[in-house]
Amino acid sequence: MTTNLAERLARDEQAGNHPYIRPKDAATLLILDRSGVNVRVLMGRRHMRHTFMPGKFVFPGGRVDATDSRVRAQKGYHPVVEEKLRKELKAPKSDGRIKGFALAAIRETYEEAGVFVGSKELDCPKRLGAGFDAFVDRGIALDLTPLRFVARAITPPKRPRRFDARFFAVWSDAIADKLADGRGPSGELEDCAWLTLEEARQKELPIITQTILTDLENRLQSDPELAPETEVPFYSFRQGDFVRDLL
């Protein structure tokens, strides 16, 4: 993390004065298109009616629902990815909870951007679980193998909403289908678009999103295939400063 971003994150924290609340699990999906000269990422602008980050450009994602842990995935994580997800994890440490991180990111990507990440090559069960009926209707099974764990960030204390967010990345060839209008049924994201990393930086972004974009660009330079073994940045707030650890 650059000094400038670290200072902005720390300065932003000082504005909060809310009582302590435990962060809730959340997950985000960065879908990357490498078909052109420059890698592009799918982002959208949060609707202005939202109280949380209105008008900001973000990656699809959101809070992990309790039902996500019970959704049926035909294939699980790459073993190294799962191992990294278990690091620095407070109880409960169940397999279902860990599986639910990626499934929440996939579900939210459909709901917000109308994009189905999965496989039509695998047999799809007649029921996957809550929030995934549209996948069943299209015969799209859930395959977590292509997902890569690229970052984790915990919202600082003193905030009205706190999340322990896992950021996943996947190449766009994992897209099995899309809604025709280019938007998700929830209407939470507007102006969904494929942006180069440089174009994305020109948008109005949350500070943590800027940080993740910088990390992603650096990783693609040294690890263009997103190998599962690569260390994962983990941002948290300790003793008045944002700290960047590696998982």
The domain locations on the chain are 3-241
Secondary structure, 3-state, the chain: CCHHHHHHHHHHHCCCCCCCCCCEEEEEEEEEECCCCCCEEEEEEECCCCCCCCCCEECCEEECCHHHHHCCCCECCCHHHHHHHHCCCCCCCCHHHHHHHHHHHHHHHHHHHCEEECECCCCCCCCCCCCCHHHHHCCCECECCCCEEEEEEECCCCCCCCEEEEEEEEEHHHEEEECCCCCCCCCCEEEEEEEEHHHHHCCCCCHHHHHHHHHHHHHHHHCCCCCCCCCCEEEEEECCEEEEEEC
Q: According to the model, what pLDDT value does residue 155 have?
A: 85
Q: According to the model, what pLDDT value does residue 188 have?
A: 78
pLDDT: which is higher, 78 or 1: 78
233-237 contact pairs (CB < 8 A, 24+): 233/1, 233/151, 233/152, 234/88, 234/151, 234/152, 234/153, 235/1, 235/9, 235/151, 235/152, 235/153, 235/154, 235/208, 235/211, 236/153, 236/154, 237/13, 237/154, 237/156, 237/157
Cα angle: 232, vertex 206, 48; to 5 degrees = 135
- Confidence tier at 41 by pLDDT (50, 70, 90): very high
Per cent of the chain over pLDDT 90 is 66
pLDDT of 1 > 70? The answer is no
Per cent of the chain over pLDDT 70 is 88
pLDDT of 159 > 90? The answer is no
Q: Which of 153, 157, 168, 160 is nearest to 211 (CA)?
A: 153
Q: Which CATH number fits domain 3-241: 3.30.365.10, 3.30.465.10, 3.90.79.10, 3.30.530.20?
A: 3.90.79.10
| Tokens matching residue 172 | 């766009």
Going by DSSP bridges, is the β-strand pair 189-196/233-238 parallel, antiparallel, or unpaired?
unpaired
For the question of whether the overall pTM of this predicted structure is more than 0.85, the answer is yes
Rg over CA atoms, the chain = 17
- Give the residue-averaged pLDDT of 61-67: 94
Q: According to the model, what pLDDT value does residue 15 have?
A: 56
Q: According to the model, what pLDDT value does residue 2 have?
A: 47
Length of the chain: 247
